[in-house]
Structure 1
């Protein structure tokens, strides 16, 4: 039986532990952290959930999230992702740990402040039944674990996160997805352009890379609901950014052009600027 030693107590129910003096993990259980201190042992029989942080990237990702998101929300998000992987055998890209957690945190904040607005994400349940089933279960888990009432329509945006972060061991299968699948096409365009310029996700830039993935999801939602960012961009701002960051501007312009041609839509200058800012952050952290 594994030896669990307290490294850090987050609250009475969540603890960071050293496992057999080699790996680290986050464990959860009712009262598992009560009156525990660094170096204390924890009985495995008290543990209800365990999430191993057995890679440098996993530790970095978890640490980054805790800077902005409460531990309970982070762990609920991780539980949802593990549920999708284990119960539905649903493969996901790593960035969903950031994007989904960020989404749940923001939605939770809006609900608690009485500012929640019904999701504008399109309902495509018929096309993605598994993702929506995962999302429905996710809402139940959120309401139970966080003692909050996420409305049923919140499942639509959660489903979109899983659709966009779906991973596959067979890359040829992903190429056969219908052209009408905006989310997959937008992601493919961005990844193909990044590949041309040698831009990859790594431990240094992963936080900014994942933030770009969040932006892409909201862009897809706006495309599918025919909404545009109506704010008027000051032309001087675009000109200044173009001069300051010529490479990022070139990459952002290429991405926007390809999205417009491939999906037969029009993106305004705001979207170009958003791409430029995200890309510049990624490049400077390469």
Structure 2
């Protein structure tokens, strides 16, 4: 028996199954004129996602704070499609990372600010992930009634590449690593917010380059392979004199990453951040 717990819209409902379990169901008109406590016929259900663990409920609730229900459900459906149609195992954190990515892309498309990803194309090496991503774009365009461009598949494929695996103790560590990457991005964005730095038409290419740099930075930290090249010792001091604001912002980012994530960055990372920030703010 499916009992309405909450109606999100005419086509999406949170239902109670038994005394403990819950699920999100979708179907044409499944929530129409429904109220808490009403029964729902299983015949109306076209798509169902079980929230049978505390972790699943927390994940879904967290996403709904920032992401519309239709986008969340389509993202979940894409992940289930990869599991079912391609027998592709993924770590649970992809439900959060992919959904957030799709929501941001959707926002950029609707506002006319979409830009092609600057990430490298590695389809030859990961054909299955790119095939999943191509089908994902088709699902997004169908479910959300919007036109995701074909090249939007590329970053989606990267999400599947990064999240490939099964839930073992080793994969739990990978999940922690994914959270680590998200935390690095949040720290950078929080500092940028303090200084009013945002992505715009003037700096969009430099901003995207910084995002790619952060991906590689996270990978280097996780594999303990930080850049060991020896830079001229005068570079840091010269940058501090030439670009005091960029240096201040970059130093704050590095300090917060180190203290917030309990790691140590080498001096090169500060220099690289200064270069990226200086390009972003065009400090003379």
Shared fold per TM-score greater than 0.5: yes
- Deviation >2 Å, runs of 4+: 168-172, 208-224, 232-250, 269-273
For 1:134, the equivalent position in structure 2 comes to: 132
- CA shift, 1:121, in A, is 2.0
For 2:151, which of 139, 153, 165 is the aligned residue?
153
- Of structures 1 and 2, the larger Rg is shown by 2
CA spacing shift, 1:246–1:29, aligned 2, 3 Å: closer
RCO higher in 1 or 2 (8 Å CA, sep ≥ 6)? Answer: 1
- Partners of 1:154 and 1:219 lie apart in 2 by 16
What secondary structure does 2:91 align onto? coil
Aligned residues: 228
Q: Within 1, Cα distance between the matches of 2:79 and 2:258? A: 38
- Give the gaps of 5 or more residues in structure 1: 175-187, 192-199, 225-231, 261-265, 274-286
Shift of 1:165: 1.0
Out of 212, 217, 227, the residue aligned to residue 183 of structure 2 is 212
1:247 Cα offset (Å): 3.9
Specify which of 256, 265, 272 is matched with residue 268 of structure 1: 272
User: What are the equivalent positions in structure 2 for 1:93-242 lying under 5 Å apart?
Assistant: 93-168=91-166, 201=176, 209=180, 211-212=182-183, 218-219=211-212, 234-237=246-249
- Cα distance 1:218–1:171, how it changes in 2: closer, same or farther (>3 A)? farther
**CA gap 1:249/1:66 in 2 versus in 1, 3 angstroms:** closer
- State the distance in 1 between where 2:125 and 2:96 align: 25
Deviation, structure 1 residue 169 = 6.6
Distance 1:213 1:42, change over 3 A: farther
For structure 2, which runs of at least 5 residues remain unmatched after alignment?
189-209, 218-242, 278-284
1:117 Cα deviation after fit: 1.2
Q: TM-score w.r.t. structure 2 length?
A: 0.69
Q: Distance in 1 between matches of 2:149 and 2:257?
A: 42
